[in-house]
Chain A
Amino acid sequence: MPGRSDLLKGAGDLLVLSVLADGPLYGYAITKQVAAKSGGAIRLTPGALYPLLHELERSGLLLSSWETVQAPDNDDEDKGRKRKWYRLSAKGKKRLAHRIDSHRAMQKMIESFLPDQA
């Protein structure tokens, strides 16, 4: 839908923090969760998502931990893949609350400028 991706610019961190508010997730699960919550309308680009996750972690908004995943079809028992789980830090929870408040205030403000739809 034209315009929608424009409107989502800058909302990436809000989306990520919001889905992580429900519990820890890893990168690919975040993309699926965002897609599911938006009924498929929003697809996070992985090339943007992973750097964003790193940035949020570096800012202290997210904490991470590693899990070793044993793929069922993996013959080599020692060769498990590594999965990085992210969760909100206390600072991240606070930031999310701020972001939601200011997003709503901004939304309300902008709405007051829009003409009434016929």
Chain B
Amino acid sequence: MSTNMRLQTPLTAELLDDLAADRDANAAMDAWLNVVSRLMRLPPATRQEICDELREHLHERVRDLLLVGRDERDAVRTAIEELGETAHLARRFEAANQPRPRRLLMHALFTIVGAGAVTAGMMTFTSSNSSPTIPFAYFDAANASANEPPKSLVELKCSVGFDDSLRQALGNIASRANVGLMVNWRSLENVGVECDEPLAIKFDSVSGTHAMKVIAQAASTPDDALDWRVRDGGIVEFGLRDDLDRSEIELVTYDVNGMLERLHENFAESYSDASQQVIELLATMVEPNRWEDNGGDMARMRLVGGRLFVQAPASMQKKVAWILSQWPGNANNQERASTAAESEVPLLRDIPILHSVLRDSADRLSPSPAGETIGEPMPRSP
């Protein structure tokens, strides 16, 4: 068959013609599938499954096209063309079948609706999973550090013995620092945390805050990281990191218009390219596996009209804000990203972006001067 020598290469228009000219539609489809299969660097069993699935698709599609009056040659050609260029299709299947951490925004999951001038720069509202409605919204820059650890915890000198269990260690720290402790023990046990088994760690004279961090790490399972937060009133909550973060999801918008313009002028062909650069930067640098577009379920972002909307836990928002602050004209471009990722990240108020406040969910935007506070302080991670 004349297609043999071309099977090594991506599908060309001539090959399509050859395939469609084949009298036997099945043979034409098999030849095409053979090309796709050879281009995929995947295990043979996976390639076979993909081909079986695509063969079924082609048959169904061709049958439908025949039903609307297309001739067979034309139907086969159309069905194959709709699946796209072979090399591209092969890459997509390869990416989809890669182990985690998965592909990064392979199909640029964002929207650009022009980059018109915008005025208000930043706003945020906290969102709770349990409620389908958007709750009261505020961003409290002035009190952004309201949930710092209680002094008694910071100044406490803790010791943990080798045989202490998670329950004993946390109880001990809480009672000695005289802070309220909130732990959903059942949810921990449900994911396999052994609350009453020895932690098998030992330390002396460590600050209470550092001890909490070490204990959380020691008790984490391979699948579920543990962490702690200081809640309103100085209560310490200990639990699954995902649960703690989920309760702190907020929607923040960042004005990235100036940044996009600068990128567009110097480094990108279009606004769309510039936007993609920004999105990819954030999705690779800030906890990649947690973005929805990367297969996670904790955070998402979209770019609309020069505004970047980020719906994510407060801890991730800090990192996003820090990265965006690295462009010329913004503050703190000396700081290292690794430092930011670990702990001391500039607060949102440090970035030279104005912020305004969404007062409620009733579609009403209530602009407010920078620094004005409405409502209670936003929850902060320690």
Contacts and interface: CB of A to CB of B under 8 A. Distances in A.
A58 interface: yes
Contacts of A12: 107
Interface string A20-50: 0000001110000000000000000111101
Interface in B46-73: 49-50, 52-57, 59-61
Given A101-B132, A108-B361, A83 B56 contact: yes
Interface in A33-88: 45-48, 50-52, 54-55, 58-59, 66, 69, 71, 81-84
A95 B297 contact: yes
Contacts of A111: 363
B269 interface: no
Given A28-B56, A98-B297, A7 B111 contact: yes
Classify the secondary structure of B's interface with A: mixed
A52 B311 contact: no
Given A106-B311, A108-B361, A9 B110 contact: yes
B82 A51 contact: no
A108 B107 contact: no
B59 A71 contact: yes
A105 interface: yes
A110 interface: yes
Contacts of B110: 9-10
Contacts of B54: 50
Given A10-B110, A105-B134, A109-B134, A55 B102 contact: yes
Classify the secondary structure of A's interface with B: helix
A101 B111 contact: no
Chain A residues touching B, range: 35 or more
Contacts of B127: 105
Interface in A94-114: 95, 98-99, 101-102, 104-106, 108-113
B83 interface: yes
Nearest to A109: B251
Given A9-B109, A84-B53, A47 B88 contact: yes
Interface string B125-151: 001010010100000000000000000
B300 interface: yes
Contacts of B89: 47, 51
A66 to B, nearest CB: 8
B304 to A, nearest CB: 6
B364 interface: yes
A113 B132 CA distance: 20
A82 B56 contact: yes
Contact of A55 (B82, B295, B358, B364): B295
> Which 3 A-B pairs have CB atoms at the shortest separation, nearest pair first?
A10-B109, A47-B84, A51-B92
Interface of A: 3, 6-7, 9-10, 12, 26-28, 45-48, 50-52, 54-55, 58-59, 66, 69, 71, 81-84, 95, 98-99, 101-102, 104-106, 108-113
Interface of B: 49-50, 52-57, 59-61, 82-84, 88-89, 92-93, 95-97, 102-103, 107-113, 127, 129, 132, 134, 251, 253, 292-293, 295, 297, 300, 302, 304-305, 307, 309, 311, 358, 361, 363-365
15 contacts: A3-B113, A6-B111, A9-B109, A12-B107, A27-B57, A28-B60, A46-B57, A47-B88, A50-B53, A58-B96, A59-B102, A104-B132, A111-B363, A112-B358, A112-B364
